[in-house]
Structures are given as structure tokens and as C-alpha cells.
Amino acid sequence: MSKLTFIDFCAGIGGGRLALDNLGMQCVGFSEIDKNAEKTYRLLFADQEKNFGDLTKINADELPNFDVMIAGFPCQSFSIIGQRKGINDKVNKKGEIIFHLIEFLIAKSVKFFIFENVKGLINHDKGRTLKIILDELDNAGYCVRWKLLNSLDYGVAQMRERIYFVGVQKEILGNNEFNFSFPLKNPEESNIKDFLVDDAELYFDDKQQSYQTFKKYLNNKYNKDKFIIAELLNEEYLVIDTRQSDLRKYYNRVPTLRLGRHGILYVKNGKFRKLSGYESLLLQGFDKHKAQKAKDNILDTHLLKQTGNAMTVSTVQAIASKFLEFINNLEANNMNMF
């Protein structure tokens, strides 16, 4: 088979794109409306691909032909932390993005796709939203498999549950079964020490006004008399999440990185440190070279926001690698279909 081509929709900073790049596929364009995310994307990858922009305004005839669609379509309408309006979201229309993607699948006769969304999609509207999406993909001519996976099980120390969809054109399958299986969990747990490695002085201490707020937080009705700062500082590589009313402690992992929701601290060398954008990129599976490039050129506040909205590279790569195995086996049995 010649090199598979793909377009990266809802691209963000390119977590899905990097996964496919690593497997030898060729990007022929992307779609992203956030200008700050696009800046990071272009910094991390070759600058020549066209950004087709707002996919709700894309004319499919303007897209090049491509083999694979990858998309982490917007999750605001489905997330358990949102208003869960889903497909009926009439305010920002983000819940309808999936249907634009399906239109492109049909118009460009795309052979394969990999989609990602939040865990909340599974039970949204008592499962009806997911059923509608699966029915629409089936009507569009695709066989689909989906599964909830946790990034923690695929090479990073981040707890991040996401639903992943893998699809193939029924026409390509012919009489073959779609016997794709999602990747098994990594047998070894990642070590948090490999990710919390930023050398920037991002200490969190009495020198900052926000530290006084932190002290008050420790004395609220949920945390009062439960935590002593000196004891917390004795637990090396302890991860602390202050994004809820109650302080939450984690060992050898960080909680889900989220768009616009910061507040993750950790203990290193007896001091509190703030999680950095560089470390967040590593926790999303980006390699150190790209993470350093981003650190040197992009504001940390932007990186923290963008990584919270990114796809985990290592998880997508594990899925895509298994998908390539299936495709190669399919090609061997159906040479005339490729």
C-alpha cells in the first residue's frame, strides 16, 4: 500500500496528527479555528499544510482526496462537566460538528477514520446521542468499533478517559468481517518522574498572593483539619488537585488535564510546584523535542489550555497502529480495493 494520507480535523495542537505522523502517514491538511492553537500546531509541524479553517464552512469540493480522517470533535456539548446539550445544542452548534464530519466522509469517500470524544458521550441522553451517531455512520456506509480507553494505560501518567471510534468503509470490507480489536493496556505503569521534569522555577510558595488563597482553601469546610502543609511537602512527587472544593491527592499520576481548568500542583525537592505547559505536553504523549520547542515559543498559559483540549498522542498511536495491522491484512485479501 502507498503511504496513507489524512486530514486532521478539529486539530487543536496536533496530538492526533503526531500519532499518525509517527506511523508514517502523510498529512495533507488540517482544520482548526483557534488561532493560538494553530500557532502552536504550525510551530510543532511543517508549515506548508493548509488550514481549511471552520469546518462548518468548508466546501467538500475544496478538500483534497485523502484516506484517513482523524478528529477529536468538540466535547463541550457532551462533557459531564458541561450542560450536556449534545446534538440539540442550538447555542454554539458544536454538538453538530460530527454531522459535518460525516458529510465529508461521504463526499470524499474516505476509507478510514479515527474519532475521539469525552467519556460523557456514552451516557448522554441515556445513550441516545451515541446511538444516533453510530446509526448515522452506519447509514453513511461505515462499519464502526468504539471503546472507552484511559491514557494512563498507554504510556503516560495521566488519567484521561476518552471514547474512541474506528471506522472503515463497508465497500472496502467486502465480505470480510471488521475484526478490529483495540490495543491492550501497557503491562507496565508509567513513572510520574519521567513527566514532571521541567527545570523552570515554577515554585508555589508564600512569595505569591495565590498561596494565601491556597491556605484559605485548606481551611474551607471540606479540607479543614485534614491536611498539614509540612506533611504534604514530605511526600515527594505527590500530585495535588485543587480544582474541586476538596483537595485531592494522587500518586504516580495526574488527574485529567482540562481546557481552562488548572490548579494541579506537585511536590518536588520538598517544595510545591505548578504543573507547567511543558510537562502537560509530555503528559499528553508529545516528545521532549516538540515540548521544548513549544516551551521556548508559546506562553505557558496557552500551552496549559491547549494541552487540556488535546488528544493523547500515545493512545491514538496505539489505536492507529492496531488499525494499520487490520488495514494491511485487509489489503492482502483485497488488493483491488486499494
- Active-site positions read 75
SS3 of 164, please?
Answer: strand
* Of 143, 170, 262, nearest in space to 214 by CA: 262
* Of 221, 131, 121, nearest in space to 161 by CA: 121
The string of DSSP letters for 204-250 reads -STTSHHHHHHHHHHTSTTTTTT--HHHHTTSTTEEEE-SSSS-EEE
Q: From CA 98, how far away is CA 92, in angstroms rounded?
A: 14
Residue with cell 480522517: 69
SS3 of 71, please?
Answer: strand
- What is the DSSP secondary structure assignment for residue 158, as one 8-state letter? B
Measured in degrees and rounded to the nearest 5, phi and psi for residue 112 equal -140, 155
**Angle (nearest 5°) at CA 119 between 133 and 22:** 85
* Of 113, 85, 99, nearest in space to 8 by CA: 113
Q: From CA 245, how far away is CA 220, in angstroms rounded?
A: 8
